[in-house]
Structure formats: C-alpha cells, structure tokens
Amino acid sequence: MIRLEDLQLAAALAQAPSLSAAARALNVTPPALSMRLRKLETTLGLALANRSARRLSLTPEGERFAQEAAALLAQLEALPESFQREDRQLSGTLRISAPFGYGRQHIAPLLARFASLHPGLQLQLDLRETPWPDRHDSDAVIHIGTVRDSSWIARTLAPNARWLCASPAYLRAAGTPLEPRELLAHRCICIRENEEDATLWHLRRMTEDSTRRSPTRETVRIAPAFTTNDGSVARQWAEQGLGLVLRSEWDVAESVARGTLVRVLADWQFDSAPVTLLVPTRKGRTARVQALLQCFDDSYGDGASRGGKDQGKQR
C-alpha cells in the first residue's frame, strides 16, 4: 500500500541531486531515507533510483512515479480549497520558477504585488538557469524562448524581441556592421541557455518590390569570442566593449536608452524569444494558480490578453 510518506519521498528524490539532499529536505537521516526507498521499491517491484556515494538519478519508472506523486500531493494540498467559500482568503504555498535575470527584474516585483493582495499565501520564487516544469516541483514556470515538449499549458505573456547591441567604444574600434554577413568579422558574445543553438542567428527584413512586400532572410553562424550562461554577464561584457551581444529587448532597452549600448542592424529582426507562462493542465488546477494567472493577465495587459489564452498541451 502506498502511503503519503512514499509520495513525499518520491517528490523529494525528483528535486534532490543526492540521497543526502533529499534526506535534508524531508528532515530525516540518509540511512532512514535509504531504507524507506528500498521498502518502496520492494512494494512496487521496481527500481526507482540509481544511487552512488555522491549522486542520485531516477530511473524512467522513478521519474514517472515522482511526477504522479507530485501531482497527487498537489491535489491533496488543494483539497481544502475546494471546500472554501469564494470570499475566503487564499492560503497554502505557491511555487514559481523563473530564469535568473527576468525573474529578478520582472517576476519578483510582480509577486511582491501579488503577495500584498493575498497575505495568507506563502510564495516561493525559485530562480534557475533553465527552469522547466516536468522535472521540478513548481506550480508555475516562466520560460523564455521556444517551448519544447511539455505536458503543461503555455500562455504567452509577451513577444520579447531580441536586439543586437554593442558599446559605442567597440563600434568605434571595430566598425558598425551594416549587413548580417559582416558579423563574421566581429567579436560576438554568446549566451548558452535552454539548450538552443546559440551560435546560429536567424535574421529577416521586410523588403518591397513593385508588387508586394516580402521578407529577406539570412542565417549566420558566428564564432563566439565569449560564451556565458548568464545573460547579465553577457550584457555587461558588451557594455565594457568586448563585442556584440544578441539579447532580449527587456534586458538591453535601458542600456540603449542610457547610451552604454547601441542597437546594431536595427532594420533586421532576429528570432524572438517569447516570455511564456507554463502551468499545469486545467484539471485539478488550484485556486492559487488561478489567482496567479489573473495577476499575470492584469499585469501584462494587451500582451497577455492576446496570447494569454491557454494554448493547450505542448507536444
């Protein structure tokens, strides 16, 4: 028979890099947790995890069990809400994951306002390099860029264009590229994120002939002079004159306004990296998540209303 403690164990194992870390999360000793894991595996007749002295990894069966366990725990946690009147204050814990830079600049202030409306809630903001819902214990995830395969529902919050920028000092020294192919002769700063091909840049520009407007498309494979997994570091390097950086508009617009960065190839459009809110399927969605969705819709205005409808499972 599966017990509540077994579900909590599986959910903790999915979050922890080691058995010791999972034990700390559950406030038990590693030997006790190891014993509970062996007993659960015996009950199920399955191996749920591969463990070594320093690392823990779930088997495919373990990942599936952990996902089901997390879903069941969320339903149990939300059960009291189903009996509350609509005028009751929200309570419980709401967990949100977001990328570092966008999470600090945009999501954290939004959650502060949300918390003031719902003082009975406990909010957890988990900033990650690459947040993704299927393997993390989150109620909502902010994702920037193309949505990969996921069973969660995607709601586009903002289109988020990307700008190519460099410092005035760099452009004085190296010259300003006027065509995409000229980027091959420049020092470029790349950002490693979301497992995307960071060195392949796609561009398009609308051109007109005598009959119609049509896009001109180009693709450039740049050789990065600098690479980092932190967008803020990449922007700072560009401001310091180290090269050209392709970065989200939300991150560089202020620098361009101050004059520490200059937008380059402004008549060309790069592939956008839309800001997307990922939430669980409609079935079993808690009142806390529903309130958060409303907060995002209100805060993002037209951007959220145009793309804020549930777009269905991303498969």
- Give per-residue pLDDT as tens, 208-245: 555 556 678 899 999 899 999 888 899 999 999 999 99
Mean pLDDT of the chain: 82
Identify the pLDDT of residue 79: 64
Q: Mean pLDDT check: name the lowest of 23-27, 103-107, 229-233, 258-262.
A: 23-27
pLDDT for residue 136 is more than 60: no
pTM of the model: 0.63
Identify the pLDDT of residue 214: 65
Strand partners, 92: 121
Residue type, 54: R
> Directed axis angle between helix 4-15 and helix 19-26, to 10°?
130
Q: Residues 169, 308: contact at Cβ < 8 Å?
A: no
Q: Which pLDDT band holds residue 266 (cuts at 50, 70, 90)?
A: very high
- Select the more confidently predicted residue: 310 or 199: 199
pLDDT for residue 148 is more than 80: no
Q: CA-to-CA distance for 10 and 46, rounded, in angstroms?
A: 13
pLDDT for residue 97 is more than 70: yes
Supply the DSSP symbol for 35: H
How crowded is residue 195: how many other Cβ atoms within 10 Å of its Cβ?
A: 10
pLDDT tens profile 104-131: 989 999 999 999 988 988 999 988 877 6
What's the token pair of residue 172?
Answer: 């004085």
Q: Mean pLDDT check: name the lowest of 42-46, 82-86, 305-309.
A: 305-309
Average confidence (pLDDT) over 268-287: 80
How crowded is residue 206: how many other Cβ atoms within 10 Å of its Cβ?
A: 11
Q: Which domains does the chain have, with CATH numbers?
A: 4-78 (1.10.10.10), 84-159+274-314 (3.40.190.10), 162-270 (3.40.190.290)
Of all residues in the chain, the percent with pLDDT exceeding 90 is 29
Q: Which pLDDT band holds residue 284 (cuts at 50, 70, 90)?
A: low
Identify the pLDDT of residue 305: 40
How crowded is residue 192: how many other Cβ atoms within 10 Å of its Cβ?
A: 16
